[in-house]
Chains A and B, each alone.
Chain A
Amino acid sequence: MGLYILRRLGFIFLTLFLASVIIFIVTQFLPGDVARIILGQFATEAAIDNLREELGLNQPAYRQYLNWAGGFIRGDWGDSLVSRMPVRPIVMQRLGNSIMLAGLALCIYVPLGIVLGVIAALKQNKLPDQLISGISMAFVGLPEFVSGLLLITFLAIGAGWFPANSSIDPDAKFFESLPYLILPAVTVSLTGLGYVARMTRSGTIDVLGSDYTRAAELKGLPGRQVLVRHVLRNSLLPTVTIVAMGIGWLLGGLIVTEAVYGYPGLGRLLVYGIQRQDLPIIQAASMIVVAAYSFSNLAADIIYGLLNPRIRVGG
C-alpha cells in the first residue's frame, strides 16, 4: 500500500506540472499581448512597456514559465493587478471558504444519497424506486444556477427562511456564516445527491443478486444484518469512487453556485479575476483548483484501496 501511494503521489506531481504548463500557456500566451489586453486599447505605449517589464513578458517563454512556477512553489504568487495586494493570502482565504461550503455539501448529499439509493434498490422497480430514480435523474441534469435561483426565489424571497445573498465577510467564521451557507450547500448537493443515489442503487442491486448475499440469507441471518454486514460493505464501493470522481464536478458546481449567491469562495474569485483580467489571480486560483482536484482523487483512490484490497495491485 505504501508503494502504491508513493507511485500515485509521483504521478500527481507529474500531472500538476503538466497542468501548470497548460494553464500557463493558455493564460499567458494564447491571448496575444497580455499587457495590452490588461490595460485596454487606449493605454499609452509607455504604460504597456512598463507592465510588460513588470510581468516579465519580454523574456523567452521558458524563462517566463520557470519564473512563474518557481515563484509559485516558493510561495510568491505575485500581486493582484487590480488591488495590488499579494495574491496568496486572498486565494488561501477563499480556498478556506470554498472548503467550508464543499464540506457542508458533502455532509448533506453523501449520507442522504446513500440512504435514498439503498431504499430504491430494496424496492427495485416499485413506486419508491421509480420516484427516487426519476427525481435523482432530474437533479443530476439541473444546472446549479437554475436550481440555485429557484431556491432563492422560493425559500429566500418567497418564504424568507434564508438570506438570498451569501456575500458575507470573507473572514467570517463557520458558525457566523452557517445561515448563509445552507442554501448554497443545498444547491450544490442536489446534483451530487442524484449521482450518489444512482450509484448506490445500482451497486446495491448488483450485490443483492450475488451468491454471498443469498448464502447469508439462506443460513438464516436476520435481514438487517445481511444488509449491513454483507450488502452495504460491498455495494458502497462504487459510491466511494463516484463521490471522489465527483469532486471535479463539485468544484465546477462550486464556481457556479458561488457566483449565484455571491459567496466569497475560490470560484467567485476566479470569475472576478477573469472579468477584471487579473492574471496572477486567475493563474493562482486555477492551480489551487487543479491541485485540490488531484489530491482529492488521490485520497479517494487510497480510501478505495483500503476498503477493497482486491484492486490494490491494479493501481
Chain B
Amino acid sequence: MQKQPQENSENRMAIKKFFRRLRSNPTIFIGFMIVLIFLFIAAFGPFLAPYPYTQQNLSERLQPPSDDNIFGTDQFGRDIYSRILVGSRDVLVVAGSGTVLAVFFGLLLGLFSGYRGGYFDEVVMRVMDVILSIPPLLLAMVILFSLGPSRVNVIIVVGFLYIPMVARVVRSVVLDLKTRQYVEAARLRGETSAYILYKEILPNVLPHLAVESSMRFSYSIFLVASLGFLGLGVQPPSPDWGLMVGESRTWFHQARWVLFFPAGAIAILVVGVGFMSDGLRRMLLPGGVSDG
C-alpha cells in the first residue's frame, strides 16, 4: 500500500516516455494516427455520411466521383463515401469484438495453463495445437459454412480462431514469470493462487498481452475483410469493406472507383494497425525478440 504514490509517478514517467518514443519514430506515429482517425470515423462516421448507406438511386448507377458523391456511386447508385463511413464501424466492431473474445479466453487459458502446469496444461496445449494445425482461413470458412454467415457468427469465429495464439503467448510468459523470486516469495507468504495470478503475474503479462492483442487485431481485420470478400462473412447490403471489394469485381472494369475506395480504406487501416502493433512491440518489449 505504501508503494502507491511511487507507483503513480512511475506510471506518469512511463506514459511520458511512451509519448516521447511515439514522436521519435515516424512509422509508429503514422500507425497510431491512422488508427485514431479510423476510430474517429467509426464513432462519428454514420452521422457525417451525406446519404443513408442503403439508399439506391438507379438512375445514378456507377457515376464517377463528383461534387455530390465524392467517391462516386456503386452498381445500385449508392453513395460509396457514405457506405465507407458507415462500414468503418462494421469493420472495427466485428474485428474488435472478435479480438476481445480471443484475448479474454486466451488470457484465461494461458494464465491457468501456464501456472498450474501438469495434466491440465498438457491437455489444453494439445487442443490448441490441433486447432493451430488447421489454417485459420480454412477453419473460418468451414465453420461459417456450418453456422451460416452473419455478423455475430463472424465475431464468434474470429474470437475462437485466435484463442490458441493468445493462449500460447500468455502461457510462455507465465512459465517464465512463475520461476521469478517475487512469485516464489508470494507463495511462501501463503498467498492464494488467485492472488498470485492477479497481483504478481498478470501485471507483468500485460505488456506482452497488449502487443499480442494489437497483432491479433490486425489479423482479425485481415480475416474479416477476406471472408467478406469471399462472400462468406457479413452479407449484403451491409457496407462491409471486404464485401464491397468483392461486389466491385463485376464492375471495376468500367468503374474503378467502386474498387479503389473500399480497397484503399482496407489497405490504409490494415497497414496502420500493423505499424501500430509493431510500434507497441518496440516500445513495450524492447528487450524481447525484435520480430516474429
Contact = CB atoms under 8 A, between A and B. Distances in A.
Interface string B248-292: 110011001001000100110011011100100000000001111
Contacts of A201: 291
B211 to A, nearest CB: 15
B152 interface: no
Contacts of B249: 149, 260
Given A31-B146, A140-B274, A256-B137, 4 more contacts: A23-B142, A138-B274, A145-B242, A199-B292
B27 A143 contact: no
SS class, residues of chain A in contact with chain B? helix
Interface in A135-174: 137-138, 140-146, 149-150, 153, 157
Contacts of A35: none
A149 B291 contact: no
A259 B222 CA distance: 16
Contacts of A4: none
Interface stretch (A44-52, A222-230, A270-278): A270-278
Interface stretch (B111-119, B176-184, B191-199, B227-235): B227-235
B137 A274 contact: no
A64 interface: no
Contacts of B266: 143, 146
B246 interface: yes
A249 interface: yes
A249 B131 CA distance: 14
A251 B138 contact: yes
Given A15-B133, A19-B133, A271 B275 contact: no
A282 B145 CA distance: 10
13 contacts: A19-B134, A22-B134, A30-B146, A137-B271, A141-B218, A143-B222, A145-B246, A252-B137, A259-B230, A274-B141, A274-B142, A282-B142, A282-B145
Contacts of A153: 252, 256, 259
A18 B142 CA distance: 16
How many interface residues does chain A have, given as a range?
35 or more
Contacts of B141: 255, 270-271, 274
Nearest to A277: B145
Interface string A119-148: 000000000000000100110111111100
Contacts of B229: 143, 145, 256, 259
A18 B231 CA distance: 28
Given A143-B270, A274-B232, A289 B138 contact: yes
A124 to B, nearest CB: 11
Contact of A252 (B136, B225, B278): B136
B147 interface: yes
Nearest to B146: A30
B129 interface: yes
Contact of B230 (A134, A141, A251, A256): A256
Interface residues of B, number: 48
Contacts of A277: 145
Contacts of B232: 271, 274
Contact of A26 (B133, B143, B252, B274): B143
A270 B138 contact: yes
A148 B270 CA distance: 16
Given A146-B266, A153-B256, A27 B142 contact: yes
Contacts of A249: 135
B13 interface: no
Given A146-B266, A251-B138, A137 B278 contact: yes
B130 interface: yes
A202 interface: yes
B245 interface: yes
Given A146-B266, A252-B136, A31 B253 contact: no
Interface in A29-75: 30-31
B225 A138 contact: no
Given A141-B274, A256-B230, A259-B229, A294 B138 contact: no
Contacts of A88: none
A234 interface: no
A290 B138 contact: yes
Contacts of A86: none
B135 A251 contact: yes
B226 interface: yes
Contacts of A30: 143, 146-147
Considering residues A138, A141, A157, which has the most beta carbons from chain B within 10 angstroms of its beta carbon? Answer: A141
Contact of B291 (A31, A199, A252): A199
A290 B290 contact: no
Considering residues B135, B141, B143, B291, which has the most beta carbons from chain A within 10 angstroms of its beta carbon? Answer: B135
Contact of A141 (B131, B222, B259, B291): B222
A96 interface: no
Nearest to A279: B145
